[in-house]
Amino acid sequence: MFVDEAEIEVRAGDGGDGAAHFRREKYVPRGGPDGGHGGDGGSVVLLADPSLHTLLDFQYRSIFTAESGGDGAGKTRDGKTGADCVVPVPPGTIVYDAETGEQLADLTVAGDRLIVARGGEGGRGNTAFATASHQAPHFAEQGLSGEGCRLRLELRLIADVGVIGFPNAGKSTFISRVSAAQPKIASYPFTTLQPQLGVVRLDAERQFVIADMPGLIEGAHAGAGLGDQFLRHIQRTRLLVHMVDVAAVDQRDPVEDYEGLSAELAAYDQELAARPQLVALNKTDLPDGQQNLPRCQAYFVQRQIVVYPVSAVTGAGVRELVGAIATRLEELGPREVSGREPQTYEVPRAEEQPLRIFRAGEGVFLVRGSDVERLVQRTNLSSEDALMRLHMELQRMGVIQALGGAGAEAGDTVFIGDIELEYLP
Ligand SMILES: Nc1nc2c(ncn2[C@@H]2O[C@H](COP(=O)(O)OP(=O)(O)OP(=O)(O)O)[C@@H](O)[C@H]2O)c(=O)[nH]1
Ligand SMILES: [Mg+2]
């Protein structure tokens, strides 16, 4: 199975800061606090989008950032919520945490969503901190940072198109020319032993997956040649390209090849024989190919089958054939997908860490803990009022006492998260 892979980085938006602001009205000397709240940051969401078939686009763009929340303002105006960043991925994409390797979700159904990074909460404006005893708080909260992580995406490809034909017809040569796949090519039959997939990209919107099949011969349905084990691989394709060696390099007749292989397919599976099909007449660069071409074309015209003369070696006619494949796939419409309703998943939240204190050296202490780190992140350290409140909160949470217990003395350095403070008992 061909696996398409990509690694991306996602970062959610930060929360906006709350405002520390006071009402100003004519003839009212000292208005109360009216600072609005900061908006929440946007999240990054993966969305299974059926118009995508590969992860190729992530080679061009691999960092996705959601919008941050707006800051609050006076007159209790709240900041606006940051917009989410929606990242379309092809259905069937499996998402892993790139660091731990843990599987986060399997987005199989179109419309499935996975919230991969949650936006930071906005900070509260000073209106939220007014109390009976403290009516004019001069501080507001800062917004929290958004989550971020690295993800590995994996897509197990299913081919849209299967290329069939006798051994040596030039199937692998064709696929190596139109995709990045590098199948083995050689002038002896049965060079290709396993189906190989390649991705064909026409432009930003149009791309499809093509499967190089091992050569088929008469009697394949009964086990001749490489037999029929791999025929089931083409059963999931939507379109077949039947490649005929029009130069008859192996001394067979091109028309007989076409008829023989069609009969072979029908013997294996009627439905497969009736699958939409394009015919490519390959090796037109050879003199024998040129000679046989008019006769073969006449045969197909008579049966109202459109044929594409190509040379997989020189590239003549290849663009026309690829264009015709893409057009035919568009006409056929998207592949049917499984019937369950789309779902929304969410990556697990980071585990809440309890309060812990470490002595890092002479007069230096580290404080860790989810609650206390969030509290410091929310604090505007340039506001004295805010620092005062921080001190009170640290006391209420028992951090000051615990530092004292760990041997901290006035003037020692304390790191809470990555913010440096001075210890004041
Ligand atoms: N002159 C010429 N030779 C070609 C062309 N296409 C393929 N060949 C040659 O034909 C031989 C077989 O090509 P492959 O691409 O391996 O054929 P295949 O259909 O994949 O063969 P199997 O894997 O064995 O079924 C190689 O020697 C190619 O170089 C063509 O357009 N013109
Ligand atoms: Mg081959």
Cα 359 to ligand 1 centre (Å): 71
- The pLDDT of residue 338 is above 70: no
Give 410's pLDDT tier (boundaries 50, 70, 90).
very high
Query: Does the beta carbon of 311 lie inside 6 Å of ligand 1?
Result: yes
Residue in the structure block whose two tokens are 């909160």: 393
Question: Among residues 196, 207, 199, which one has the least CA distance to residue 180?
Answer: 199
Give 26's pLDDT tier (boundaries 50, 70, 90).
confident
Q: Which atom of ligand 1 is nearest to the CA of 193?
A: 23
What pLDDT sits at residue 53?
78
What tens digit of pLDDT does each residue of 227-252 get?
A: 566 666 677 789 999 999 999 999 99
What pLDDT sits at residue 295?
96
Query: Does the beta carbon of 242 lie inside 6 Å of ligand 1?
Result: no
Q: Is 0.95 surpassed by the pTM of this model?
A: no
What pLDDT sits at residue 265?
87
- The pLDDT of residue 127 is above 90: yes
What tens digit of pLDDT does each residue of 59-94 get?
A: 889 999 999 999 999 999 999 999 999 999 988 899
Q: Which of 74-78, 139-143, 178-182 has the lowest mean pLDDT?
A: 178-182
Average pLDDT, the chain: 90
Cα 52 to ligand 2 centre (Å): 27
**Residues, the chain:** 425
What pLDDT sits at residue 394?
95
Mean pLDDT, to the nearest integer, of 398-414?
94
Q: Which ligand is nearest to the CA of 318?
A: 1
Question: Among residues 114, 150, 118, 147, which one has the least CA distance to residue 9?
Answer: 150
What tens digit of pLDDT does each residue of 5-19 get?
A: 899 999 999 999 999
Residue 397 per-residue DSSP state: T
What pLDDT sits at residue 226?
65
What pLDDT sits at residue 251?
92
Query: Does the beta carbon of 214 lie inside 6 Å of ligand 1?
Result: yes
- Ramachandran bin of 293, using left for φ above 0, alpha for ψ from -120 to 50, beta for the remaining angles: alpha
What pLDDT sits at residue 1?
42
Cα 189 to ligand 1 centre (Å): 9
Q: Which ligand is nearest to the CA of 243?
A: 1
Mean pLDDT, to the nearest integer, of 98-120?
95
Residue among 164, 168, 178, 314 to mutate when testing ligand 1 (max atoms within 8 A of CB): 168
What pLDDT sits at residue 232?
65
The secondary structure of 307-370 as a DSSP string is: EEE--TTT-TTHHHHHHHHHHHHHHH-SPP---SPP-EEEPPPPPPPPPEEEEEETTEEEEE-H
Cα 170 to ligand 1 centre (Å): 3
Query: Does the beta carbon of 317 lie inside 6 Å of ligand 1?
Result: no
Give 300's pLDDT tier (boundaries 50, 70, 90).
very high
335 bridge partner residues: none
Tell how strand 356-361 and strand 344-346 pair up: unpaired
Cα 157 to ligand 1 centre (Å): 25
Q: How many Cβ atoms are within 10 Å of 398's Cβ, its own excluded?
A: 12
**Closest residue to atom 7 of ligand 1, CA basis:** 170
Share of the chain above pLDDT 90, in %: 66
What tokens does 11 get?
């970062």
Q: Which atom of ligand 1 is nearest to the CA of 314?
A: 31
What tokens does 35 get?
């600072």
Q: Which ligand is nearest to the CA of 170?
A: 1
- The pLDDT of residue 355 is above 90: yes
